[in-house]
Amino acid sequence: MTKITGVRLTPVAIARSTGLVCGHVIVELDTTDGITGLGEMSDFQHLPRFHVDVPELECTLTELLAGLPVGVEGANEAERRLAESFPLAGSLYDKTSVIRCGVDLALWDVRGKLAGLSVSDLLGGAVRKSLPVAYPIFRQQSPDDVDTNLDLVADQLDQGFTLFRVYVGRRLDLDEAFLRRLRDRFGDRVAVKSLDFSNLLDARTAARFVERTREVGYPLVEAPTYERDTEGLAFVRSRTLVPVSEHVHDRRWAIELAAARAVDVFNLGLFTLGGITPARSMAAIAEAAGLRALIGTTQELAIGTAAAAQFGVATKIADEPADPVGPLLYTRDVVAAGPEYRDGELHPPAGPGLGVALDPDLLAAARGPLRWTDTAVSDVVDRTGKRS
């Protein structure tokens, strides 16, 4: 019986193309068979503005998990220990869920390697070959951003992307200008998957913006009210008649949203749920409630993106276009080869487990402390870098 012998954590600091430097932690789960499972604690660069003590966390996780069977016979006990020691705080960017997610992914990776199966096979087999994905267009914050983002759309069209997720909510006048000029310039060559309000506005303000721009054409609005405002989500849904999605981050929130008929789509981000194991429960709730689901993201590196792809292709209800494009946004990564993007779709890597392998040289080059230096709060929220 293969057992866990220890957990190794490596913090990395990697810049996005927008300039924001994001901190991640790469997880290596060692076993008695010499097989190592890989995971990723993705993008700690979210509020609240603190970081974990990585060496202390490494010691804690090793003490917690060492000696446990790594296969399915130890899965329930591993989940119990993680849930008990890292209780969720019930918020979208809960750092305990990020920690649990990294370990959970590593557990699934090593199980797949031991069985010689991909994680999607362990989940019952792929129901689709790939995930259609939307390329993100970040918020307009100055008039110049409108032209810059229109040019970005043109560039991504050349790369095979025709579907875009547009972040809004900071400068609504510029957001509206961008949407109208997007349609004028590209016509039906592009599709807007959704407007993402990121919980920045109250429900009435968001609903007014949707009503004013609805003819631009988009089938979904995301997080169009303040966080955990069930009544607000239901208001936008009924007022605008545009389907609404929201991140779910625990069972209570998922059941509340479903019972109130406040949303049409559950946004299932592994980072905010604590990994694949709890994400399966959220998908089951959505299916039982007659809702749809999409695979969300905090824009992970290749390991976390591979996990999202493996989970997404094996989850029947996750038939809405997905969001993970992190490997295209970051200036470097830590794996030899990651998931592929072809014609606007995300393809999970082939091979056992998550299908990815660390490149020691890339990992060493990216290694760096988790830090908040020169990062403004607005930059964190809007995913931009240091301003000149």
Q: What is the pLDDT of residues 3-13, one digit of tens each?
A: 999 999 999 99
Please give the order of strands across the beta sheet that includes 37-41: 4-15, 21-31, 37-41
CA distance 110 to 105: 9
Residue 282 φ/ψ, nearest 5 degrees = -65, -40
Residue 29 φ/ψ, nearest 5 degrees = -105, 110
> Using one digit for the tens of pLDDT, what is the confidence trace for 220-235?
999 999 999 999 999 9
> Using one digit for the tens of pLDDT, what is the confidence trace for 15-49?
999 889 999 999 999 999 999 999 999 999 998 89
List the domain boundaries for the chain. 4-117+371-382, 121-354
Tell me the torsion sign for CA atoms 375, 377, 378, 379. Answer: positive
Nearest residue to 124 via CA among 273, 383, 314: 314
Give the three-state DSSP class for 41: strand
> Using one digit for the tens of pLDDT, what is the confidence trace for 59-116?
999 999 999 999 888 999 999 999 999 998 888 889 999 999 999 999 999 999 999 9
Residues 4-117+371-382: name the CATH superfamily.
Enolase-like, N-terminal domain (3.30.390.10)
What average pLDDT does the structure give for the chain? 96
- Amino acid found at 201: L
> Using one digit for the tens of pLDDT, what is the confidence trace for 356-383?
999 999 999 999 999 987 778 888 888 8
How many Cβ atoms are within 10 Å of 173's Cβ, its own excluded? Answer: 9
> Using one digit for the tens of pLDDT, what is the confidence trace for 277-332?
999 999 999 999 999 999 999 999 999 999 999 999 999 999 999 999 999 999 99
Q: Give the H or E element holding residue 311.
A: helix 302-313
pTM over 0.85: yes
Pairing relationship of beta strands 345-347 and 131-132 according to DSSP bridges: antiparallel
Judge whether residue 386 has pLDDT over 70.
no
Dihedral over alpha carbons 136, 304, 127, 109 (to 10 degrees) = 170
- The two tokens of residue 17 are 């193309």
Q: Which residue has the tokens 């960017």?
A: 93
CA distance 305 to 284: 22
Give CA separation, 154 vs 108, 191, 192, 311, in Å: 38, 13, 14, 30
Q: Which residue has the tokens 């008929």?
A: 261
CA distance 318 to 213: 27
Give the three-state DSSP class for 236: helix
Contact 239, 207 (CB under 8 A): yes
Q: Is the CATH number of domain 121-354 3.20.20.120?
A: yes
Judge whether residue 260 has pLDDT over 50.
yes
* DSSP code, position 139: P
The catalytic residue positions are: 93, 167
Dihedral over alpha carbons 11, 13, 16, 17 (to 10 degrees) = -150
